[in-house]
Every structure is written in C-alpha cells, then in structure tokens.
C-alpha cells in the first residue's frame, strides 16, 4: 500500500498546490450557488426525496449492537427506523411501525429487546428478525398470511464497522456506492474500529450551511487560527473529486515530522501510510459523513437536515482498539480538542442562516479552493434531475471533467 501510485500522486498534488500563485488556467470560474437552495421549502422537499431518502447514509456503529436483540433508533429519515441485531447475529433495519395500527414497536432510543418485540398497543409479536409470530385474540382474525405482515424492512448494509441504511429498496449495493472514496481508505483495519465517542446537538440552520463548512479549508486561517491552522497548511490543500458526490481534501501538516502530542501512547493503525501520517485526509462520503483520518483514529462529523432551517449534528470518534476495559483517559483530552474545533466551525452557522434570509444575500461565490462545495451541489442536482430543480435554484454542471 505504501507504494501505491496514488499516494505519490496525491503528495505531488499537495506540492503543486503549495507552489501555485493563481488558480490553474484550465479551471473555470464557478457560478454562485443560489441562496434559495438554503431557504426554499420546495427545494428542500426535492432534496429530501432525491438525496436523503435515496442515498446510503451512516446510521451507527456495530458497537452499539453488542448482542442479539440490541437495537437503536435512527431518526433522520422519513420516519424512525429501528436497527436491530437478530438471533443470527445479522444487523437489519425496519421501520419502527407495527403492521397492525402503526404503533412504534420500540419506544426508547436504544436498548435491548427480549426474545421478541411485543407491540405495546395490542400485543402483536415479532421475532428479532422482524417476522410476525403472534397476534392477540387470534380467534377474531380471519386466516391471514403472517409472512405478509413482518416489520417493513429498510435496506441496511455494513462497511467495516459502520452501519449504513437507505430507504430506497432499489439502491445500488453499499460497497459499489462507497467504492470511489473507499478504495483510498479501505487499506485501514476498518472492521476493527471501536466507537470511542458520540455526541449530538441541534443547529438552527439549513444542513448545507454546515456541510459546506466541512468541505473547504479556506476557513482554517481565520476561524481556526488557534487550532487547525497551527497544524495544517490550507494553501497546500489538494482536492480530489469522485463519482457519487464523494471527495477528499488533503491538507498537509505544516511540519512534516509533526505528531499530535495528544495521541502519543495511543494504539495506531499500522497500515497507515504517509497520507494519514503527514496530512489531514478529510473525506466526504456523500452526502454527510465527513471523516478526517489519522493513524490513531478518526472523528466523524455527520450532518442531518431536520427542516429547511434546522439541522442535527453528530460528532463521532472511531479508533483502533485500546484493549479491554473502559476508554483510556487520554481520550478525554482528544475528544475535547476536536469538540473545540467543531464549536469553532459551528459558531457562524446560525448567523449565516439569518443572513442568507436577507435581501442582501444573493448567492455563494466559490473559489478554486472551495470547489468541493460546488461538486456536492452538482451531485444533488444530478440526483434530483436538473429539469426538476426550479431554474433559479439550479447549479450549472461545471466540474464533470475534473471528477476522477
Ligand atoms: S398497533 Fe401494534 S398491535 Fe395494534
Ligand atoms: Fe473547520
């Protein structure tokens, strides 16, 4: 892996970025992203339908489902979904809705069901694979086929230790969807990563205000003057755009030999290459799974639309195993340091949303260094179908020839 040709290519790209004094001559100026995409309810509905209901989305980590019957609720889709480990060890997802009159079959956000799921309303009983096994007062029902009344499944597949769901039954296999990005990090032992931390909060802005933020390094210099900017050189940031809306920004360490002092003594992924050791490779797994990878682990910022003007954020940490027992205390500082950076990122989100609503805001002009944002928006329009996007809100395709 260390001698893979793409590694040398990526490092050469960083050097080119550091050396250039203007945008590359062949790169077109980008039209502004229309402001209405962040405030228009009609566009929000199109985006929910075409992107958030039809794309593979990170839902959780296998550590959240340690035993048969363990479950958690995933509540960022069109309706709550219960993600459940069955008696056979398989992880499945179902809409959390009883097939009788629609009561939720689990109530708590996470937990462990007994050998069956019993609906609290009239007692219809499902097994841990989602099959209907019993109904109360069977004598009052005409004969019917139980097989037609199992919990309604939602597509659910695993990549490493990450559980993804998709509400579109016809979606392509997860591995195919992830491949354009995953081929660059699947040399890491992703099937052994532990869930080291999880926190969530809500923000009063359109999800794209936050997603845009995590797709560029242009803000490092000011917004992260005392944190990220001291470590990573945004002027060396190299960007690769991939199929399916995925992308990376690769920001080099300011000092090649720099090691995060907060990680000394933590177990490393020995498969890490010069990319993870000397850069911040921040992947965007379309649409909302931002993963900057270091040898000792990776946080993820995952951003969810709630309404056109509200979002939720989950900040997660995945790491190689620290062995038996609870998470070592070193992690407290590491998590706190990253939380500080995320808090810096978030601070402008709500004021930006308010300002986007003002007649003074016309649209978002983007520079060469911000082109991942444009690539992301192009993918959204591709998925919606450009002809279905109101003309005033459309993003003109500009970057197809730069997609690797
Ligand atoms: S709604 Fe679940 S048993 Fe009636
Ligand atoms: Fe940031």
Structure tokens at 378: 């192009």
Asked whether the beta carbons of 249 and 237 are under 8 A apart, the reply is yes
Q: What SS3 state is found at 63? A: helix
Which atom of ligand 1 is the closest one to the Cα of 119? 2
Domain boundaries, the chain: 5-55+188-402, 57-159
Residue-wise pLDDT tens digits, 365-401 = 999 999 999 999 999 999 999 999 999 999 999 999 9
Among 82, 96, 97, 100, residue to substitute to test ligand 1 (most atoms within 8 Å of Cβ) = 100
Euclidean distance between CA atoms 363 and 396, whole angstroms: 14
Q: Which residues are bridge partners to 73 per DSSP?
A: 82
Structure tokens at 166: 């998709």
Residue-wise pLDDT tens digits, 6-22 = 999 999 999 999 999 99
- pLDDT at position 3 is 75
Q: Which CATH class is domain 5-55+188-402?
A: alpha beta
Euclidean distance between CA atoms 204 and 254, whole angstroms: 34
Specify the length of the chain in residues: 404
Ligand 2 centroid from CA 342, angstroms: 7
In this structure, which residue's CA is closest to atom 1 in ligand 1? 101
pTM over 0.95: yes
- Ligand closest to CA 341: 2
Question: Which string of b and e fits 101-114 if b means at least 16 CB within 10 Å?
Answer: eeebbbeeeeebbe
Among 94, 97, 99, 103, residue to substitute to test ligand 1 (most atoms within 8 Å of Cβ) = 103
**CA dihedral for 305, 41, 353, 356, sign (positive or negative):** positive
Ligand 2 ion: nearby residues, β-carbon < 5 Å: 345
- Ligand closest to CA 223: 2
Residue-wise pLDDT tens digits, 105-160 = 999 999 999 999 999 999 999 999 999 999 999 999 999 999 999 999 999 999 99
Structure tokens at 99: 């097939």
Q: Tokens 């709550």 label which residue?
A: 80
Residue-wise pLDDT tens digits, 302-336 = 999 999 999 999 999 999 999 999 999 999 999 99
Structure tokens at 176: 């195919």
Q: In which band, very low, low, confident or very high, does the pLDDT at 261 lie, cut at 50, 70 and 90?
A: confident
Residue-wise pLDDT tens digits, 229-255 = 888 999 999 999 999 999 999 999 999
Per DSSP bridges, beta strands 116-118 and 125-127 are antiparallel
- Ligand closest to CA 217: 2
Residues in contact with ligand 1 by the CB-under-6-Å rule are: 98, 100-103, 119, 121-124
Q: In which band, very low, low, confident or very high, does the pLDDT at 1 lie, cut at 50, 70 and 90?
A: low
What stretches of 147-218 show up as alpha helix (H) in DSSP? Answer: 174-182, 207-213
* CB-CB neighbours of 313 under 10 Å: 21
Q: Does residue 38 register a pLDDT over 80?
A: yes
Rg (CA), the chain: 23
Ligand 2 centroid from CA 215, angstroms: 9
Q: What is the mean pLDDT of residues 75-82?
A: 97
Ligand 2 centroid from CA 218, angstroms: 9
Ligand 1 centroid from CA 295, angstroms: 49
By C-alpha distance, which of 109, 332, 295 is closest to 185? 295
Is 57-159 a CATH 2.102.10.10 domain? yes
Euclidean distance between CA atoms 259 and 262, whole angstroms: 9
Query: How deeply is 231 buried, as exposed, middle or buried, from its count of CB atoms within 10 A (0-12, 13-18, 19+)?
Result: middle
How far is Cα of residue 167 from the mean position of the Cα atoms in its chain? 16
How far is Cα of residue 198 from the mean position of the Cα atoms in its chain? 13
Per DSSP bridges, beta strands 238-241 and 247-252 are antiparallel
In this structure, which residue's CA is closest to atom 3 in ligand 1? 122
């Amino acid at each position: 892996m260390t001698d893979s040709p793409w590694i040398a290519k990526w490092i050469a790209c960083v050097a080119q970025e550091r050396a250039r004094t203007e945008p590359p001559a062949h790169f077109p100026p980008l039209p502004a992203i229309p402001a209405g995409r962040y405030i228009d309810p009609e566009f929000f509905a199109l985006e929910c339908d075409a992107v958030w209901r039809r794309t593979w989305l990170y839902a959780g980590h296998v550590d959240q489902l340690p035993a048969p019957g363990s479950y958690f609720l995933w509540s960022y889709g069109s309706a709550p979904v219960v993600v459940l480990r069955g008696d056979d060890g398989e992880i499945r997802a179902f809409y959390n809705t009883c097939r009788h009159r629609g009561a939720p079959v689990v109530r708590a956000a996470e937990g462990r069901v007994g050998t069956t799921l019993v609906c609290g309303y009239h007692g219809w009983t499902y097994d841990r694979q989602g099959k209907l096994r019993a109904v109360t007062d069977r004598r009052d029902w005409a004969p019917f086929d139980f097989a037609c009344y199992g919990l309604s499944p939602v597509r659910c597949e695993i990549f490493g230790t990450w559980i993804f769901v998709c509400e579109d039954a016809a979606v392509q296999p997860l591995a195919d969807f992830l491949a354009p990005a995953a081929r660059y990090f699947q040399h890491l032992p992703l099937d052994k990563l532990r869930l080291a931390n999880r926190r969530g909060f809500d923000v009063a802005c359109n999800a794209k205000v936050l997603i845009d933020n995590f797709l560029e390094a242009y803000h490092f210099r000011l917004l992260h003057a005392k944190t990220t900017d001291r470590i990573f050189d945004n002027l060396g940031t190299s960007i690769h755009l991939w199929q399916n809306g995925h992308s990376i920004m690769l920001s080099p360490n300011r000092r090649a030999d720099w090691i995060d002092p907060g990680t000394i003594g933590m177990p490393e992924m020995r498969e890490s290459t010069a990319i993870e050791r000397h850069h911040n490779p921040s992947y965007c797994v379309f649409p909302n799974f931002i993963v900057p990878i270091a040898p000792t682990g990776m946080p993820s910022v995952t951003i969810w639309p709630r309404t056109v003007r509200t979002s939720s954020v989950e900040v997660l940490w995945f790491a190689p195993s620290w062995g038996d027992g609870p998470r070592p205390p070193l992690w407290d500082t590491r998590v706190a340091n990253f939380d500080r950076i995320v808090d810096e990122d978030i601070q402008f989100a709500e004021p930006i949303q308010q300002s986007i609503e003002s007649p003074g805001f016309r649209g978002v002009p983007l520079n060469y260094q911000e082109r991942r944002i444009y690539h992301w928006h192009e993918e959204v329009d591709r998925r919606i179908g450009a002809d279905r996007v109101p003309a005033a809100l459309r993003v003109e395709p500009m970057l197809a020839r730069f997609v690797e």
